Amino acid sequence: MGNIDFQGSILDNMDSSNISASNHFTMSAKLLEVDTDSLDASLTRRTFSTNRERVSKPLSSEQARDTRDAFVKAIYTKMFLWLFEKINVAIHKAPTQGMGTGYQSIGLLDIFGFENFVTNSFEQLCINFANEQLQQFFVRHVFKLEQEEYTLEDISWQRIVFTDNQPTLDLLAVKPMNILSLIDEESHFPKGTDITMLTKINQVHKKSSIYIASKSDHDIHFGIKHFAGAVYYDPTGFLEKNRDALSSDTVVWSEVSINKLVCSLRRSSTSTT
């Protein structure tokens, strides 16, 4: 679906778009087991409600590409969650009396996916935030909880000194007006830009020992001291990447699909949107 492209056109004096003919579009409709007209409409039009009626508005080629990308991300997300649900069901074993919980488990801990490139964008911020969470999981279970247990049991031991990355997580997602919440907030403002977002982040967190503010009005980079080292981010494109262009029209495609998996994903999508 990511290879589906659009051609701009004019319809009733409004910017609109048409899906470029390709095997990518027909194959996508075939795999989703949905009529091509339904898929076409969900990608090139947006429906919204007024006080009296529902109005359908054509999308420009740029808007259609954003809708396509949001659609693809939604499918990927739902498939990812569906896969893990299947794994959990497969490894679950009903508890047997006298045999403990009876649960089997698969444990995955990857703390080596930290990214720091010449140019770091929104994707690197999300990836590094995930790795901060994993690092905190490691720190909490290996150091914090273990040492608390030693103290409770009055065991003689020498306290292990470790670096706690919780302040970085507080900056990113925990404290009021954290960086991720400020990005979300600015994404919802019609006149919000990457620069206004950066200005707010600088103002709120310039005194933080974890945050590295822009050095001047001409410097559009900011830094964060992660557990693996400082990373400088270029905020260009942050708001656009954070916005979710998924609309109700993009789940209509599955209402006529005969594929059971697609229908189950649609029901899940509808409940969360």
Strand duo 45-49 + 54-58: pairing: antiparallel
208 vs 107, 181, 205, 215, CA distance in Å? 34, 16, 5, 14
pLDDT of 238 reads 96
Whole-model pTM: value is 0.69
Determine the pLDDT at residue 3.
95
Q: Report DSSP letters for the chain, one per residue.
A: -TT--EEEEEETTEEEEEEPP-HHHHHHHHHHT--HHHHHHHHHEEEEE-SS-EEEEEPPHHHHHHHHHHHHHHHHHHHHHHHHHHHHHHH-----TTSTT----------------SS--HHHHHHHHHHHHHHHHHHIIIIIHHHHHHHHTT---PPPP----HHHHIIIIISTT-HHHHHHHHHTSTT--HHHHHHHHHHHHTT-SSEE--SSTT---EEEEETTEEEEE--TTHHHHH-----GGGGGGGGG---HHHHHHHHHHHHH-
Taking only the tens of pLDDT, the chain with its 273 residues reads 999 999 999 888 888 999 998 999 999 989 888 888 888 988 898 887 666 777 888 899 988 998 898 888 888 888 888 888 888 888 877 766 655 555 566 666 665 678 999 999 999 999 999 999 988 988 888 888 888 888 888 888 777 888 899 999 999 999 999 999 999 999 988 889 999 999 999 999 999 999 999 887 778 999 999 999 999 999 999 998 888 766 666 655 556 567 777 777 665 544 433
Q: What is the pLDDT of residue 60?
A: 92
Delimit the domains of the chain by residue range. Answer: 6-97+247-272, 122-236
Please state, in angstroms and rounded to a whole number, the distance separating the CA atoms of residues 169 and 164.
10
Position 229 scores a pLDDT of 94
- In this prediction, residue 254 carries a pLDDT of 55
For the segment(s) 6-97+247-272, the CATH number from 2.40.50.1070, 2.60.40.420, 1.20.120.720, 1.10.10.1100 is 1.20.120.720
Q: Determine the topology of domain 122-236 in CATH.
A: Methane Monooxygenase Hydroxylase; Chain G, domain 1 (1.20.58)
